[in-house]
């Protein structure tokens, strides 16, 4: 009995230690980090969606989330999409359409493309690039043609979408890129 209590206390201390080490990057196998990553992939203005309402060809189609954060569908009108996951938007659209003349609407929402990420600084081709799932900073730099000879070999600066602050990160494949991120490759100091 005493042995089980010691194991439980040790496990609790270990869990508290891990929780204290959490940051905003994805750590493989960490469910809390995966939840944070999922939250970053919520819909925002500029995302392109495919909305299908079964049996309703005039409503189904491709839609872009407007700068206001709304997506406007015939019969449903404008509905807030920004900040929601595709599943949450699907439920909201189903409820809205149910309140109209549709009796049992079957709605699916698929993301065709997220807003781009931006990269500047010491890369060969700075600019905006389409976001692809699983993107990390090393792949983002590769998409931009690679680093220049003046680029820092160990740091990267990222301003996450919706945040006002820039944060310095190690130049590593472990650092994910999210839609709308602004990535700056700084110049190295000799």
Kindly state whether residues 107 and 130 are assigned to the same domain: no
Kindly state whether residues 124 and 178 are assigned to the same domain: yes
Kindly state whether residues 157 and 99 are assigned to the same domain: no
φ, ψ of residue 37 in degrees (nearest 5) = -65, -40
| pLDDT attached to residue 40 | 62
Q: Looking at the 3D structure of the chain, how many domains does it have?
A: 3
Kindly state whether residues 68 and 107 are assigned to the same domain: yes
Q: What does the pLDDT profile of the chain (190 residues) look like in tens digits?
A: 545 444 343 444 333 333 333 334 444 444 444 445 545 678 999 999 999 999 889 899 999 999 999 999 988 899 999 999 999 999 999 999 998 878 889 999 999 999 999 999 999 999 999 999 899 999 999 999 999 999 998 999 999 987 899 999 999 999 999 999 999 999 988 7
Last residue of one domain, picked from the residues 95, 113, 131: 113
Q: What is the domain range of residue 7?
A: 2-40
- The two tokens of residue 176 are 């994910």
Kindly state whether residues 87 and 28 are assigned to the same domain: no
Q: Does residue 164 form part of some domain? A: yes
| pLDDT attached to residue 170 | 93
The Cα-based distances of 30 to 82, 98, 137 in angstroms read 26, 38, 20
| pLDDT attached to residue 68 | 94
Strand order in the sheet with 182-185: 127-129, 117-121, 182-185, 155-159, 167-170
| pLDDT attached to residue 161 | 83
Q: Does residue 190 form part of some domain? A: no
- The two tokens of residue 104 are 């049992």
CA distance 164 to 160: 8
CA distance 170 to 95: 45
Last residue of one domain, picked from the residues 96, 113, 130: 113
| pLDDT attached to residue 102 | 85
Kindly state whether residues 35 and 93 are assigned to the same domain: no
Task: Decide: helix, strand or coil at residue 133.
Answer: coil
Contacts of 98 (CB under 8 A, 6+ apart): 104, 105
Q: Does residue 100 form part of some domain? A: yes
Q: Residue 67 in contact with residue 73, Cβ under 8 Å?
A: no
């Amino acid at each position: 009995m005493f042995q089980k209590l010691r194991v439980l206390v040790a496990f609790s201390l270990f869990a508290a230690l891990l929780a204290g080490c959490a940051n905003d990057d994805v750590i493989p196998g960490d469910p809390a980090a995966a939840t944070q990553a999922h939250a970053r992939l919520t819909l925002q203005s500029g995302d392109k969606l495919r909305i299908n309402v079964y049996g309703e060809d005039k409503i189904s189609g491709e839609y872009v989330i407007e700068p206001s954060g709304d997506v406007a569908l015939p019969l449903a009108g404008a509905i807030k999409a920004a900040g929601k996951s595709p599943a949450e938007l699907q439920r909201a659209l189903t409820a809205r359409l149910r309140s109209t003349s549709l009796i049992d609407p079957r709605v699916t929402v698929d993301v065709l493309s997220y807003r781009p990420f931006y990269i500047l600084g010491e890369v060969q081709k700075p600019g905006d690039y389409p976001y692809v799932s699983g993107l990390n900073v090393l792949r983002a730099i590769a998409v931009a043609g690679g680093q220049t000879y003046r680029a820092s070999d160990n740091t990267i600066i990222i301003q996450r979408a919706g945040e006002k602050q820039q944060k310095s990160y190690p130049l590593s494949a472990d650092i994910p890129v999210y839609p709308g991120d602004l990535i700056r490759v700084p110049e190295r100091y000799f």
